Structures are given as structure tokens and as C-alpha cells.
Structure 1
Amino acid sequence: MPAGPLGGPAGGPTGTGGTGGAVGPVADGASPLDVEGLRTRVGTALTGFFATQSECLEEVGSDLAPVLAAAQAFLESGKRLRPAFAYWGWRGAGGPDNDAIVNAASSLELLHACALVHDDVMDDSDTRRGQPSVHKRFAARHAEAGWHGEPDGFGLASAVLLGDMCLVWADQMLWTSGLGQDALQRAQPLYDRMRIQLMAGQYLDVLEQARGSQSVESSLRVARFKSAKYTVEGPLLLGAALAGAGHATMSAYTAYGVPIGEAFQLRDDVLGVFGDPAETGKPAGDDLREGKRTVLVAEAVAAASSAQRELVDRLLGDPALDAQGVERLREVIVETGALDRTESLIAQRRDTALEALATAEESGLVARSTAHVLRALAVAATARRV
């Protein structure tokens, strides 16, 4: 059997290359992303993949070296949450631990990178993960070199192209993961649906901002399709499909994955307003400057007085919003009870997901050795302690 990338087997779910066997409990204080060394293994898989891309881009010329370097720098960090859900979706459906599934799951980091790079362009974000966003990085490169034209235009074009390249790379990494063709063909429709709905969700996000939507329902729809489904449910279903799971297991993963994904995004909305920049990697209140029509904001507007609503209309989406303005909007969010209601939504969705997982575990639809990892992931993802 020929080897896949990083030594993974080229066949289906019967290959070896990892620890295999039963999964032990998640230790107190440990991240569930580190069970079976998964976070490190994802990083290794991405490093190996980029080594193959270096050879490809060298044929084009040395001018592409900064592009590859930007992609590698962007992907050095990250929680590896989506690969984790794909991997445990596979394991819970009976797939064994091997390098091929780690390679396949790691491809989702490239899809995620595509979404983030493009999202930063659409939002004109200055930073991501504590570093300059990709379009700002390339704009600075243009300015430092003294090239012709506008640095910002060059930065935007470069970021769009790099995001597109990450989307292509995600496909390539999945299809050269070492998994068998039958498994990959089973997963293809789910993979396509996940990607299409992700892009559709991105459109909903810019549409609702343009409309100035203040509907909680509309904000929840954006959260569901822009982030929630491709963060948890989609990766779980991808892993399950690769392992050949039946309809009942897939339905169980959806019952768990959709509410956890929504809770994850709701937590992200809270952090976008109240989070510590040292942990979020973005300036405090950036979502407010960008005018994000999040559930948190929609809940605040729904319960606001006329004076509070006027303040939100005036300050939300102001790119020059200062610390005082951020604090005034925070006060409205707290005083209207929007923060408490959003926290309740997070808790409700987490509880719904954990109940669905318990049912799936008891009925044998999800392996017990996997269920406790998914339980820990649910708690960590919704508290953002991953």
C-alpha cells in the first residue's frame, strides 16, 4: 500500500500510524484538543503539506515565497477545533486512529484560513490572532518596497488570492490525505454542502450589515451558517462519512453539533465585545467598530429604550469608535440584559447538545470512548478554554 502524506496509509479506515485502542479520560485542566496528541499532529500534518506546496510554487518563481510564508504564519496558531471535531466524528463512528484521518481533518484548517482571510478583507480588520491581518501584511510589504499603485489595493488583492489558494489547498490536502477513494467520495457531498453554506453565510453577514438588521432571528441565521455549522456539525459529519457511518449516527452528530456550533459563535460574539485582546488577538470592541449585527447586539436593541437605541444607531459601525464609545455600547448591552440573555442562550444550547450526546452514547450510536471527549470539547468550546 503506497504511503500518503507524512507517512499516512493510502487506504481506508483500516490503516495504522497512531495510538489506536481505547481513549482515556480527559485529565483535569487539560485541553480536549490535546487528547492523543491531536493538536501537535495537526501542526505536523500542515507542515508536511506546505513542504509539498513549496516545490509547486518554486516552479512559478521566487516571488511566491512571501505568499507561502504568509499562509504558513497564519496557520501556525489556531486552536485546531475543526480538525478535532472531524477526527472525533471519525473515531465515534468506529474509525481507527491513523495518520490519514489526521491529514484529512487537518485540511479543515485550510478551509478555515480561507474564511478568515476573506472575512478580514470584508471587515477591513487590522489584526487576526494578534498579528496584522493578511491584507494589511501585504499592504505594508507594498509600502515598504515603494512599488507603484496603492498599497491597500495590493493588500486586498493579495489577500483574496491567498484565501482562494487556501480553499484549493484544503481540497488538495483532503484528497491526498491517504484515505481510500470510496471514503472520500462518500464524504464529498457533505464537504461541498459545508463549504457552500459557509460562503452563503458570509454573504448573509454582509447583507445584514448593509440592511442594518436588528432582528435576533436574522442574527442567529447568520451565526448558524457563517460559523456554527462549519465549526462543529460539518466537521463531525465529514469524519463520520469518511468512516462510513449510518444515518442514525449522522443524525446524532447533527443533534449535538448544531447547538454546540451556535453556542460557540454566540461565545465569539460576547468575546468580540467584552474579550481580552491578549486572548482574542483583536482589539477590544472590534465587532462594534465593524458594525457586526450579532445576536448580542440584536438582543440589546430589542430591549433598548429610545435613548439607548439612538446611541446604538449612532455608534455601532463607526470605524473611529474610541474606548469611551466602546464602553458606552457595552453599558447598553449589559443594562438591557442582552449579555445575560446571550449567556442563557449559550447555556441552553450547550445543555441541549450534551443531552443529545448522552442519548447517542447510551444507544450505542457514538462510541463511549469518544463521547467523553466530545463532552469535554463542548464545554471547552462554549467557554472558549480550548
Structure 2
Amino acid sequence: MLGLPPAAGAPAGTVDDPPTAPDAADAVGTVLGQVLDARLRDSRAVDPVFARDVAERVAALVARGGKRLRTAFACCGWRAAGGSGDTTAVLRTGAALELLQACALVHDDVMDGSLRRRGAPALHVELARTHWAAGMHGPAETFGTSAAVLAGDLALVWADDLLTETAFGTPHGPRLHGEWRAMRAEMVAGQYLDLHAQAARSSGVDEALTIATLKSALYTVARPLALGAILAGADEHTVDALRAAGRCAGLAFQLRDDLLGAFGNPALTGKPADDDLRSRKLTYLLAVAHRLAGTTADHHAAAALAPDADTGTDHAVERTRAALERTGARETVEAKIGELAADSLRHFDRTGARPAVRREFAALVARASGVTAHRAEGAG
């Protein structure tokens, strides 16, 4: 099986004690292993070449893991709403979220031209190399891009199938599917607005926040929390509080990711630290820096941060990095992350969740945002 080792105790999906966030990562790995094995059997029955080149690569990407944050937040939302007993539905929903994340990563890497993902070549790069090594006709890059789009589509199909099967098995199926449907539309809208902002050379702070909210915050935290709560039969007050908490925590997560995208260590993040800077992707970090450069009349920083600035060389990227520091944008974003983390904890308290669950959520927010619970409380 391709999944991670099972958590200690009973098999995943059947334990009576609801999984905490650390346990959920292991437990969903087991569920994913079972799901991927079944999907690979189906794919091999369709065609062995398709299974080898596409399906197996999608399964390998999913099995390589990542933070499993979406699963952890789904389980936390379930616990916040009083979920207990059989964990099958919430873990399968978590597995569907991990498959959806694989779709987003594959497509995002194609659109951004990213070369690395989770410490390995991005899928479109790997497929292009396969084309070249086999001596096939036509441009290898075009083949890799086209095949990767299909691979992302396959991950989405697997995610939708799993969520639908799960919804059929619970009395909360219609609400569960409605939340899932809204999340998918938000993801696509956020991804398009991201592309649109790059093409339009936008630099607005509000636009950057909208993109971050739609593309990442809602589907990373807010919707997973709500999906888990719905599976526990939560009322709308609880779900609304969780969505608000998740929106803030998810934005904090994305702003931290923006900082890592500019200043992170590739050996730790598994991806290059300059992709966003080279592509001039509209992030909140860049938008804030651009605004601050204008406010302080820092013409050198403004030139380095301009949407149409040359970013084709390492020197140009370093100039951009230096401008992010000099304008104070990095410190401003750090402060914003702290405020968002504090707001998320306040919204979560409105759910009336038990203290143990509140502590679990605070730990997850700290993990996602890089802000400890103590610092978040101080920011509030």
C-alpha cells in the first residue's frame, strides 16, 4: 500500500477515540493508501500505460505527504462540534481534501512554471523528462504540460468520487456536498484571479487579500473546519464561527507561505524560494511593499517592486528581496499574521468547544502560521 503507517491502536476509520491533529495525519495516510490502491487497480484495468505514466504518479505525489493540514483542520472541526465514535466519514473527507490538494498543486505548478514540489521534480517536469528519455516525437515540454493537466484532473476526479461516496453514507450528505461545491468554485476563482492579476500587472493590497482568501485561506482551513463540523451535525452558529476562525487562520497560513516563498530555505520547504518573485505573482507581501515604497518615496525600492520590473536574473531577485526588507513589508506581514492568528482563536472560542479542542486548534494555527498561541494571544 502507498499510505503512511497507521496510527497506533485500532485501524484508521474505526477507532472510537476521535483522532487529534497529530493522529489524524497518520490515520488519513492509511485511508489514502487504501483509496489509492483501489484507484490504481481501476486505472490498470482501463489501460496499463495510462496507469503507469499518470495514475501512479498522482498516487506517488499524494503519498509523499505534505503537512496534511486540511485533514487536521477537518478533524478539529468535527471535534469542536462534538464529533465522537466512528471516524470513517471524517477521515475519508480528509483524504478527499488531500486528493484535491494534489490537483491544485499539479495545476499550480504548470501555471507558475515551478520546477520542484515536495522535494522532487514537479509532475510536468517529470513527465517531460519521461517523454525525452523515451525518444517520443514532439516537444517534451508541451507533452509534460499537457499530461500534467490530465494528471491534475485525475486527482480532482478521485477527490470528487471519494467525497460523493462519503456524502452518500451520512445523513449530513447534502450539507457536506454543498460545502464541498462552494470550496471548489472558490479555488478556481482564486486561481483565475491570480492569473489575471499577473497578466494585468496588478499591485493592489485588497486584490492580493482577495486572491489569498479565495485561493488558499478558505480551502485550506475554513472549509475543512466546516466540513468536519457538518459531519458531526453542527448547527449554523457553530459552522459560521468555524468558517470565521478558519478564514483568519487560513490567511495567516497563506501570508506565512508568501514569506517562505520569498525568504524560505528550499531544503526545508521542498520548493524554490524565488518563484513568486521571478513571476511577479501578486502576493500580499509584494503588494504591501509596493504601497510602502510609494508612501515613503523610496524610488529604488519602487523600481525593484514594480509589476513590470525585470526579474530574470538572480541579481534582480536579490534586489526585490532587499526592497521587501527595506520598506518594512516583511515586518508588516509578520505583524498581520499575528493579528490574524489571534482573531482566529477568538472566533473559535465562540464554538463553545471543550478546552482540549481549543488547545488543539491553537496548536494547528501555530503550525500553519508560525505564530505560537502565546504570541497570538498577545497580538489580540
Regarding TM over 0.5, the answer is yes
Q: Work out which of the residue numbers 189, 201, 220 in structure 1 matches 2:178.
A: 189
Deviation at 1:179, TM superposition (A): 6.7
CA drift at 1:359: 3.7
Q: Whole-Å Cα distance in 2 between the matches of residues 74 and 317 of structure 1?
A: 33
Question: Which deviates more, 96-105 or 325-334?
Answer: 96-105
Contact 1:289 1:316 survives alignment (8 Å)? no
Structure 1 unaligned residues grouped into runs of 5+: 1-14, 24-31
Residue aligning to 2:131: 142
Tell me the alpha carbon deviations over residues 118-153 of structure 1, each in whole angstroms, 9 at most, x when there is no partner.
111111111111211111110010000000111111
The gaps in structure 2 that reach 5 residues or longer are 1-11, 373-380
- Work out which of the residue numbers 257, 275, 280 in structure 1 matches 2:246: 257
- Do the aligned residues in 2 keep the contact of 1:114 with 1:167 (CA within 8 Å)? yes
Could you tell me which of 26, 42, 59 is aligned with 1:56?
42
Match of residue 313, structure 1, among 301, 306, 318: 306
Is residue 373 from structure 1 mapped to residue 360 from structure 2 by the alignment? yes
Equivalent residue for 1:39? Answer: 25
1:116 deviates by: 0.9
Q: What is the TM-score normalised by the length of structure 2?
A: 0.88
C-alpha RMSD of the superposition:
2.0
Q: After the TM superposition, which of the residue ranges 256-265 and 169-178 deviates more from structure 2?
A: 169-178
1:233 deviates by 0.3
Q: Cα offset for 1:266?
A: 0.3
1:85 counterpart = 2:77:
no
Q: What SS class does the counterpart of residue 180 from structure 2 fall into?
A: helix
Alpha-carbon distance in 2 for matches of 1:326, 1:16: 47
Residue of structure 2 equivalent to 1:286 = 275
Q: Which residue of 1 aligns with 2:369?
A: 382
TM-score (norm 1): 0.87
Name the CA shift for 1:333/1:53 in 2 (closer, same or farther; >3 Å).
same
- Please point out which of 269, 273, 278 is paired with 2:262: 273
Query: Residue 223 and residue 314 in structure 1: after superposition, are their counterparts in 2 closer, same or farther (change >3 A)?
Result: closer
| Deviation, structure 1 residue 186 | 2.0
Pick the aligned partner of 1:226 from 215, 228, 252: 215
Deviation at 1:177, TM superposition (A): 3.8
Checking the alignment, whether the CA contact within 8 Å between 2:73 and 2:221 is kept in structure 1 is yes
- The separation in 2 between residues aligned to 1:374 and 1:332, in whole angstroms, is 35
Higher relative contact order (CA 8 A, sep 6+): 1
**What are the within-5 Å matches in structure 2 for residues 1-386 of structure 1?**
17-20=14-17, 33-34=21-22, 37-64=23-50, 65-75=52-62, 76-97=64-85, 98-177=87-166, 180-304=169-293, 305-313=298-306, 316=309, 318=311, 320-322=312-314, 324-360=315-351, 364=352, 366-383=353-370
Paired residue type of 1:165: L
Counterpart of 1:334, as a letter, is E
Tell me the distance in 1 between the aligned counterparts of 2:106 and 2:235. Answer: 35
What number of residue pairs does the alignment pair up? 354
